[in-house]
Every structure is written in structure tokens, then in C-alpha cells.
Structure 1
Amino acid sequence: MRSSAHLHYTSLGSGSQGNATLVTLGATALLIDNGFSVKELKRRLARVGYTPEDLTAVLVTHEHGDHIAGVGALVRRYRLPLYLTAGTRISGRLGGEVPDWRLIQPEHSFAIQDIEVWPITVPHDAREPVQFILGDGAHRLGVLTDLGCITPHIVRHYRRCQALILEANHDPVLLANGPYPPSLKKRVAGEYGHLSNQQAADFLAQMDQAQLKDVIASHLSEKNNDQQLARTTLAQSLSTTPDWIALADQEEGFAWRALGG
């Protein structure tokens, strides 16, 4: 599928084994994160009708391997501009220098061709993590994963998004009774870890729900969450049915969706 004059978005995979999100508007195609090998990314891009040569730029949220592992090789091979914070750049996770890196300053918006990008600071255990809001002048898509808590700063920036790719990583009871060692459980549940279903639901309750048209639960833990439980918890905060909440999974991500179409 090729993007029209509307903002389109798809996930190529979402979870601890690798993440990548593709956002397009006209001929502009932005890849957010790449936790996959170049070969695997090419396979996943082909599934949604794209190739690496079609990409305009790559943006990185933070340096954890499931988000950055394949970024260095990708931007070197295809000579792609790479947007990242200074903290992410100095993390040493790019496997060497890249041909064209561009500094992100959190809370300072910038344009990449037809898409406006707002990088938003989030609480996560990385050097200088950000998440992104992307817009076409009329609509805003919020990408919000890999954060341990919701802050007033985040609510202020995201509350008027029309679409939201939102982390619902774990259920606290399943996490507490799950297979992770105590130190990892503490990290996941901490203020710099990952959002629980209920934290995500509490955030949705603070959104401008009159504008919110699309919610995709993402970055679900395969060991500490349940898809139906996540959907039900998020749906309750929006007074809707669980099937209205879409899901992003590890293998398939989610199919193309659009704002303004």
C-alpha cells in the first residue's frame, strides 16, 4: 500500500524481540526504531509494500536493543538520515559511525518533508529517551511506549492526539507471579520501566476523548500480560468495547491504519 495525502501508520513488530513503526504521508516514509536485522526488516517492510530504498529517514526513541539493534546497519547500508538525541548517540549502540545523523532536541519540533515531528521526553531507564508525536497539519499520531509512568508533561503534549500507539506492557499480578527474576520485575514495574495496563488506561482517561479516533495497545509482554485483559482494561477507561482497541503484536505488528482518510 502506498500512502495518499493522509497520515498512514503500521507496525512491523512490537515487543521485547524487536520494534519498528512506519509512518507515511505522500512520498514521506519515516521508520521509528528498528530492532531487527536488515534482512528481517526488509521482509517485514515487503509485507506492507515498502523497501528500505523507500524510506525517507529513521528516528530512534532510545538505545535499548529491541529498538536500536538494527539501526546502524540499516542507515549505513542505505545512506539514510538518522534522527536521535545526543544521549542515544553516545550510547555506543549503533555499531560505529553513521553517514548522516541529525540531533533531536526534546520538546523542539521539526519537519521531515511533509511530516511534522515532536520529540517528547519520557521517564525510561535510557540515556536520553524520547517518544514521538507525528502530524500532517490537521491530525496527530502519538507513539508512546517504553516509559515507566505518565507525567503531566506527557499528558499535556499527547492529550489531543487523534490516534495513539500506546504501551500496555504488563498486568501487575501476572508480572508479580511470572517467571522474571525479582530485579527485572522491579525494573519493569518501576517509574523508569514500562506501563501496566492500568497505567495506560489511566492515561487514556486524561485524553481529549472527543478527538481520539484510534488506540493500538502495543509492546505487550508475552509472559506478563494477556491480550484480552489489556484490551478490556483500556476499553473501560474509554467506555467502549474491547474490540475497539487494536493490538500490535511481536510477529505481525498491525496492518495499515489511517488518519484523515
Structure 2
Amino acid sequence: MDCNTLYITSLNSGSNGNCYYIANEEDAILVDAGISCRETEKRMLRLGLSMTKVRAVFISHEHTDHVKGLCTLAAKYNLPVHVTSGTLNGCRFNLRQDLIKPLYSDQPVQIGRLTVTGFLKIHDASEPHSFVIACGTTKVGVFTDIGMACEPLIHHFKQCHAAFLEANYDDELLSRSAYPYFLKKRISGGKGHLSNKQALEVFINHKPKFMTHLLLSHLSKDNNDPQLVLELFKQHAGDTEILVASRHEETEVLTIFEPIAAHSF
């Protein structure tokens, strides 16, 4: 059994709901549960994935599009929910107490052979976290809902063989949109979301040579265009495969592993 292989998919990515699946041969975790339990089950079934393999849910922050399916999903499958005290206090739901597992910044959590590490990010929420999931030496990052690219993000991005990276909006599309001024400021003001340009800067300046896949995530329905951002990144992709995580359906299941001599850079 290869402990260095991970299988990943986005079940949904966007302001209408976020849920990311990361697994090895034995165990799986979900990062966020922002779509309904029924929709989560349907999408996993279409991909040939089983909920019986999911061991835990990790919550990035309390916004509805990241937690609205959590209570039903966790209760139905008796899933431990790893969440910071700040995020838990900000959530407006009654999660079963016996399922709550405290999450602390930079302290790895072992789920079978998966190692999950959360770290603080910049976003307009209480104790928001990004995550890196490792299996052996292979690492996958879940980096969405980020106001700016802080040093911890850059540090972890440099170590990832694959990542879900937010590319929420195009600057020009946002400036021309019908959104009110206060909302535009919230999105682009440093505690909201990463623009295509900001995400591309992270990718160009900090992508490790061994990164095989990048999934552009949490695209705005109104202020971005999947084809536009895909073409933008592909110009700089090199050997990295670029995909867009859809806000309407699941992505294919990707196999991520550390190539031979991956760290010769």
C-alpha cells in the first residue's frame, strides 16, 4: 500500500457551498460541509466514493457556505468535527457535543495515515483556518476564503504537490459589477477574497517544481469567468495541470503523489 498517494476532489466550490474531499487508500476527510448531506452523498456516489471511508470533517470558518450541511452529515455518519473555539462560537447551529473536536493552529491531527494541519488565515471570520493534508511525503493544501497571501500561506503552498487555491474575482469584472460599494470593499479589502491576479502571483512566485495540480477555487458567480482565469493560469502553468473547481458539480477524482526526485530544485 502506497502511503504517499492522495485522492482529491472538490464536491462544490463557491459562495453557494464548499466541500473538499481528500483521502488515501484507507481513510478520507472532508474540509467544510457547505452543501447538503443529500447532495454530498449524491456527488460522492457519482464519483464512486463512499461516505463510510470518511473519518472526520475539518471546518475552515463559520460562514454558511462552509457549514450549512454539517450538522446533518456529521450526525448521520457520526463524524468527528474538528473546529476552533472561535469558529464554533460563530456558528449558528446545534452540533452534537460528542462530535466536537477542538482544533488548534499548527497542531497536526492524525486521521489514520492522514495528517491534517490547520493554520490561521486572513478572512473576515472568527479564527479562520486553511489546511494542509499529508500522506507520507505528499501534501495537498486547501487555501480558500483568503483576504491576502500571508506568510503562513506562502510557506505551506511551497510544500504542496497539489492545492485548492482561491481565485475569487477578476478586478475589472468586480469594478464593473452591480455590487454595492461596501460589498466590493469587503471582497477586495484585504480580509475578503483573493483576486485572480493575487492568486496568480502566489502561483508564479511560490509554486514548487513538484506541484502537479492546481484547482482554482471559490470563483465568484458574478465577478469572475472560469475560462478567463483558466487561460490566465495556463500561460504560467508549466508541468502543473490547472483545473477550475465548479460551483455547480463535483470535479474528477485526481490522484496526487510525489514524483521521483520531486525535491530536486
Task: State the TM-score, normalizing by the size of structure 2.
Answer: 0.91
Q: Deviations 1:170-201 (Å, cap 9, x if unpaired)?
A: 00110111122211111111111010000000
Cα distance between partner residues in 2 of 1:240 and 1:229: 20
Equivalent AA in structure 2 for residue 134 of structure 1: I
How many pairs were matched up?
257
Name 1:13's counterpart in structure 2: 12
Name 1:142's counterpart in structure 2: 141
Cα distance between partner residues in 2 of 1:137 and 1:62: 27
Deviation at 1:153, TM superposition (A): 2.3
Cα distance between partner residues in 1 of 2:73 and 2:230: 34
State whether residues 79 and 99 of structure 1, in contact with CA within 8 Å, keep that contact through their aligned partners in structure 2: no
- Mapping 1:99-248, distance limit 5 Å: 99-238=98-237, 244-248=241-245
Name 1:257's counterpart in structure 2: 254
RMSD of aligned residue pairs (Cα, Å): 1.9
Cα distance between partner residues in 2 of 1:178 and 1:211: 37
Compared with structure 1, are the counterparts of its residues 96 and 208 closer, same or farther at alpha carbon in structure 2 (3 Å cutoff)?
closer
The answer for unaligned runs of 5 or more in structure 1 is: none
Compared with structure 1, are the counterparts of its residues 10 and 258 closer, same or farther at alpha carbon in structure 2 (3 Å cutoff)?
same
Q: Deviations 1:210-261 (Å, cap 9, x if unpaired)?
A: 12111111111111001122112223444579xx411110122311001128
State whether residues 63 and 91 of structure 2, in contact with CA within 8 Å, keep that contact through their aligned partners in structure 1: no
Compared with structure 1, are the counterparts of its residues 199 and 173 closer, same or farther at alpha carbon in structure 2 (3 Å cutoff)?
same
Compared with structure 1, are the counterparts of its residues 238 and 42 closer, same or farther at alpha carbon in structure 2 (3 Å cutoff)?
closer
Name 1:86's counterpart in structure 2: 85
Cα distance between partner residues in 2 of 1:52 and 1:136: 19
Name 2:263's counterpart in structure 1: none
Cα distance between partner residues in 2 of 1:240 and 1:232: 15
Name 2:62's counterpart in structure 1: 63
Task: State the TM-score, normalizing by the size of structure 1.
Answer: 0.92
Cα distance between partner residues in 2 of 1:42 and 1:125: 30
Name 2:261's counterpart in structure 1: none
Cα distance between partner residues in 2 of 1:207 and 1:92: 34
